[in-house]
Amino acid sequence: MDFDHIGAKILIADDDENIAKALHYALNKQGYESKVQYTGESAVAAAVEWRPDLLILDLKLPDIDGFEVLTQLRSNPGTATTPVILLTAARKDLASKVEGLKLGANDFVTKPYSLPELLARVAANLRMTRLTQRLEEMTNRLADLASRDSLTGLFHHGKIMEKLSMEIYRSARYGVALSCVMIDLDKFKTINDTHGHQVGDEILIRIAQILRDNCRKTDIVGRYGGEEFLIIMPHTPQESAVAKANVLRSKIAEEDFVSLPENWRLTASFGVASMEPFEEHDAASLVKRADAAMYAAKAAGGFRVEQWGT
């Protein structure tokens, strides 16, 4: 058998105790973990709670039939994609197979079935499920890579603005505070001009790591452009965002950048803007406020935090 499938969870729903137990034994012998249910209602409950990797479902059950079990499973988000092999009693019962397909069955085996054939179909369905999962994982990974800045690994400009729009919507809808922090590295052009862009890139990578390491998991960090970074802080009033900005300001100033001379301390200017619960805003206007506060910090000499509206 495919070693990827060892330990896969398989639920059997069949009211024939002898057949169900024999199949349970055969599946366990193959390295699967299986459970047996003898009614449709108990099969639905077990599928929702246990979350099997595959369900072998007899069409005829004593309470609700396999069609109703399929209907209930496909309407539940937790079991909507669980593969189902439907056991049908009549070889020529085309109508039942068509109905089963319409309701979401993945495969059919006619009773009395050949055990090797059923085991082969189990393995094939599990293999298809695993391939689908891998494809989804790869697609998600590619989508994530496409949303990130190639140098720092942070969200790029377009994605961070999209995230900000989403957080503004949540803040306005649920009545929670939201802050954003604009960061600009002081005198960064001088670093590029004096030490080269490779050194500048190394510094940007390290700054990104400092921001990641010192922000909450709920905060969203992006590279806004050039040497500017944007942090979205959900559920955060302005005074708390200012406090966090000052922590980050100190962290950056304390960092020893090995590519810079020992007497060179890199600093950054911070601008903080917030929206109160239920306040209406859009991403561009909130960023504009944070940007204005950041430029006020730079105009005052840099290495400081300024907030909008004060």
Tokens, residue 116: 């090797």
Distance CA 205, CA 154 (A): 9
Closest C-alpha among 180, 291, 159 to residue 232:
180
Distance CA 20, CA 267 (A): 70
Q: Judging by DSSP bridges, how do beta strands 178-185 and 220-225 pair with one another?
A: unpaired
Spatial strand order of the sheet with 305-307 comes to 220-225, 228-234, 178-185, 268-275, 305-307
In contact, 269 and 229? CB cutoff 8 Å: no
Phi, psi of 144 (to 5 degrees): -65, -40
Residue carrying structure tokens 């670093």: 191
DSSP 122: H
Tell me the residue length of the chain.
Answer: 310
Distance CA 200, CA 259 (A): 9
Catalytic residue among 227, 276, 279, 280: 227
- Residue 280 a catalytic site member: no
Active site residues: 227
